[in-house]
Structure 1
């Protein structure tokens, strides 16, 4: 589907021309038909052989309804600008053209209507000259008469060529549907309409408005139920849930995919300095703002209510008093606070080269989650970053982290001499990182990672006094593998629970319980010896075969049970498994 918005001065024949192109009059309200004046947004559609479905959003041309006009044009990528041959160039034609230019609409056709009532040459020349001064320069300017049909074929051809040249939006994009109409249908409930610029909507989908998540019960496009609709398209959604917040200007969005902001930095293009409290128009929304100049056409807008905005969004800033318009390019929908003297000037320098992009975002934050980039609309690119799972780390921060790790490892070794290195999780906490895997990624030689710990060169060893005690225990066990040293013997050797734990982590001893230590291979040797007994065997038989005491054999057998190497039977006898 393709969507085209009309634009032009009041009573220049926009609705009549749309009716001639589609066979349907877009005015819905009785008052509109009675007065011959479009007040609300109107919609009608047709189908052309070469390009398929084409929907028209007909906007009001009266100066009092500029807000409604902007709501209709805001999400639409192409326009039909209508100028009457029997009228001079009028204020709303200029204002609507300025609005299209400010919104970044670059695909348009200009129709000079009523060419049967007056020579259209002057109007053609003036419209061409006015359009040439905007971003719509080069748009076809064609004479047409909706009453006689003169020029309609040429106009259809120009419109078909324009929509065929529009870039195809991504059907997999996150959804953001600006609501331009809400109403209730008996038996169905709440229905909203809008122009879907990209993405896909299906019945059963969840869409959020603010913090409320609504369910899409049904999808219609061009008057027909659809299994799915992808942008660009005019859609009507039947939604259920807490719909109190839904109104014109609301945005239905993919949940958790958009950053809702009340503060945004933008670049303006326009006639002069904006006022302190202009209106911001984006999509179908209009919001009062506070405008703070930063410098060089850069301003910070503080919005009366949060909106889901992304880098690269295009909006209109409007001064209602002077009827002036500015184009507003969203540079940063999540800008830093301006806390100190001169912060605005420094911020303007940061933004002078354009949108922050990935490099700028990383420079500012150091560490960014991929989901945040998605919400802000910042594309993934090569900015020299370190990528660890969903995390992106700036080159500067990655280097700073790598430089800090050695001193933290050394500090930990002094405070905990029995620990064989620093756990990655401990370093992540010290470095204020959200994941131990980020620490793993910045560890540099000669440091190494062993069993989830960062170990210094030569690290992982035991203090000399502890090592002497462990060596003595190992000598004792070498001649009697299951004669675990007594508590007195361990105390004599200076081996407390912390020292024994360090020895176990170093792979020198194995603890079976409080104060019970054997060599690391003791379980394997025990299974081999117990396998020579008649199966099943008693605890006493095991004690005799291993040449040890009940103090040792009981925790040893329990260890083998937990490891699945022996099986304890209901009569308390055991058997070797496998």
Structure 2
């Protein structure tokens, strides 16, 4: 199927031409038929020389330019109508400016009412305004059909495997069926049973129609009516979208390249797809701008739209989306540098992002893979160097700490996820454990080293006589210093405030092997020449390691 939208000044005969081509009058509203004026979008279709062609007939009155742009936005080809009786008119001018801003390349101009006036002047005006357009007289309807066929033959093939984003142009209810929405499907395919997303909520495709017929599947490009389950038709409006789940990124701020730009005000109306909304415009140089949207839209790099000043009835600029997740402009010179980048017509992808997010933004996920993340290789290598430096700097001022907290390091490096810290640390010789990162086997500070050496001398003489709180205080070995010595493998923590030598468990088992089995805590205490403060947690630790087994009566057996 091929979809073609009309354009042109009010009362130049767009609807009449569509009827002559299809046999269907496109105006559907009673008010339109009463006034003989197209107000909203109309639809008709026909088979022309073996090609299914659907027409989106748009209003030509200046009051309904928003409706016109909603019909033209998602459509790849235009049939522009100029009446021989009036020639080029104000809305001809605004419609042509809109098509230039949207970058429409596939255009056929039909001179209507050529039987009522000499078309020569109108043809000359069209050639001046639209020099690349093919021109044909509407009185020669067979020629119009032939040129329409030629026009469709030039259209690029759609990507039917693409993610779906259907811009809604109508929403209504059908008795017995429920909510139905219509739109022009520009890419992808919609099937009965598909799950799609509307405003962050999943909805199910209950049925699909195209050109008045029920289908099990409709592929782009096509006019499509979708019967939805799970949504009320009042909650779906023109400018909404139905999208493939998890394939699009909603955004409220975009950076765009400008084309055919005139005077830009801070407040303009953005028209993109079938959506129309006021936006705040921040110019970035002469060829770019940042747009702040009042509500999120599922946009991608390369999307085309336009900015319009409805008060002055003029097209302010065409826009091409270059970034749907633009960086903050915090520092002096950021805006100028960003404007220079936008002027090139291309922006670089984020140096670190999830692969699915890159695809949803419109970037090809190219780079080094780190789990689900895609990173720029040079940035990743630089971050690894910064990680090593940051840990060394932190360790220099926290010489007895268990290591730098990984969350603190993540913030320092401005990494988006904590798992990237672990991935960055690979190959650096640093160890990540228990939410901290440190250098394995780091030497103890001199003041701690001396105290631990003294303690080691004590434990060599009396292996199970753990120093008490006063003795530890005298040596200036607090909880942090003791933890550092344990991490260094110099001591073993038996319980809070209770430390022994590194071979305490092995030596205790050797001593207990010479005690009659089973034995009590008191037996163990005497054999180990220690106190209950040490014996109880030491035996519990041996139980946990399977070296001893506690019996129901409280006695123990050595198991090995």
For residues 184 and 148 of structure 2, what CA distance do their matches in structure 1 show? 22
Residues 160 and 188, structure 2, Cα contact 8 Å, conserved in 1: yes
Is 1:104 the counterpart of 2:103? The answer is: yes
Aligned to 1:448: 429
Aligned to 1:428: 410
1:283 to 270, 273, 291: 273
Aligned to 2:307: 317
Aligned to 2:495: 513
Aligned to 2:71: 72
Going from structure 1 to structure 2, the CA distance change for 1:433 and 1:260 (only over 3 Å counts) comes to closer
Deviations 1:153-205 (A, max 9, x none): 52453244134x3342652x3x5433322223345544332223345556463
Is 1:419 the counterpart of 2:401? The answer is: yes
Aligned to 1:260: 251
For residues 541 and 67 of structure 2, what CA distance do their matches in structure 1 show? 77
Offset at residue 54 of structure 1 (A): 4.4
Aligned to 1:351: 342
For residues 311 and 217 of structure 2, what CA distance do their matches in structure 1 show? 43
Offset at residue 232 of structure 1 (A): 3.9
2:318 to 324, 327, 340: 327
For residues 85 and 235 of structure 1, what CA distance do their matches in structure 2 show? 34
2:443 to 461, 474, 486: 461
Deviations 1:223-277 (A, max 9, x none): 455566554443334354577654323345567743432675551414x424565
For residues 147 and 484 of structure 2, what CA distance do their matches in structure 1 show? 85
Going from structure 1 to structure 2, the CA distance change for 1:486 and 1:331 (only over 3 Å counts) comes to closer
For residues 74 and 444 of structure 1, what CA distance do their matches in structure 2 show? 49
For residues 306 and 34 of structure 1, what CA distance do their matches in structure 2 show? 38
3-state secondary structure, aligned to 2:318: strand
Aligned to 1:183: 172
Offset at residue 71 of structure 1 (A): 0.8
Aligned to 1:196: 185
Offset at residue 41 of structure 1 (A): 0.9
3-state secondary structure, aligned to 1:27: coil
Aligned to 1:498: 480
For residues 453 and 234 of structure 2, what CA distance do their matches in structure 1 show? 75
Residues 158 and 221, structure 2, Cα contact 8 Å, conserved in 1: no
For residues 566 and 123 of structure 1, what CA distance do their matches in structure 2 show? 104
Offset at residue 78 of structure 1 (A): 2.4
Residues 263 and 335, structure 1, Cα contact 8 Å, conserved in 2: yes
Aligned to 2:389: 406
Residues 3 and 53, structure 2, Cα contact 8 Å, conserved in 1: yes
Residues 441 and 488, structure 2, Cα contact 8 Å, conserved in 1: no
For residues 545 and 80 of structure 1, what CA distance do their matches in structure 2 show? 103
Residues 420 and 459, structure 1, Cα contact 8 Å, conserved in 2: no
Residues 168 and 181, structure 2, Cα contact 8 Å, conserved in 1: yes
Aligned to 1:221: 209
Residues 11 and 37, structure 1, Cα contact 8 Å, conserved in 2: yes
Aligned to 2:240: 250
Matched residues, number: 551
Deviations 1:386-433 (A, max 9, x none): 96853747957974883585366345334x332365344443345554
Going from structure 1 to structure 2, the CA distance change for 1:444 and 1:253 (only over 3 Å counts) comes to closer
For residues 573 and 226 of structure 1, what CA distance do their matches in structure 2 show? 80
Single out whichever of 291-300 and 58-67 deviates more from structure 2. Answer: 291-300
Residues 208 and 255, structure 1, Cα contact 8 Å, conserved in 2: no
Residues 253 and 290, structure 2, Cα contact 8 Å, conserved in 1: no
Tell me the TM-score normalized by structure 2.
0.77
Aligned to 1:15: 15
3-state secondary structure, aligned to 1:40: coil
Deviations 1:427-450 (A, max 9, x none): 3345554545545566699x7303
Unaligned runs of 5+ in 2: none
For residues 519 and 48 of structure 2, what CA distance do their matches in structure 1 show? 91
Tell me the TM-score normalized by structure 1.
0.75
Residues 255 and 321, structure 2, Cα contact 8 Å, conserved in 1: yes
Offset at residue 127 of structure 1 (A): 4.5
Residues 287 and 303, structure 1, Cα contact 8 Å, conserved in 2: yes
CA-based RMSD: 4.8
For residues 532 and 450 of structure 1, what CA distance do their matches in structure 2 show? 40
Is 1:166 the counterpart of 2:182? The answer is: no
For residues 111 and 575 of structure 1, what CA distance do their matches in structure 2 show? 102
Going from structure 1 to structure 2, the CA distance change for 1:304 and 1:486 (only over 3 Å counts) comes to closer
3-state secondary structure, aligned to 1:296: coil
Aligned to 1:205: 195
Going from structure 1 to structure 2, the CA distance change for 1:570 and 1:252 (only over 3 Å counts) comes to farther
Residues 4 and 55, structure 1, Cα contact 8 Å, conserved in 2: yes
Going from structure 1 to structure 2, the CA distance change for 1:562 and 1:78 (only over 3 Å counts) comes to farther
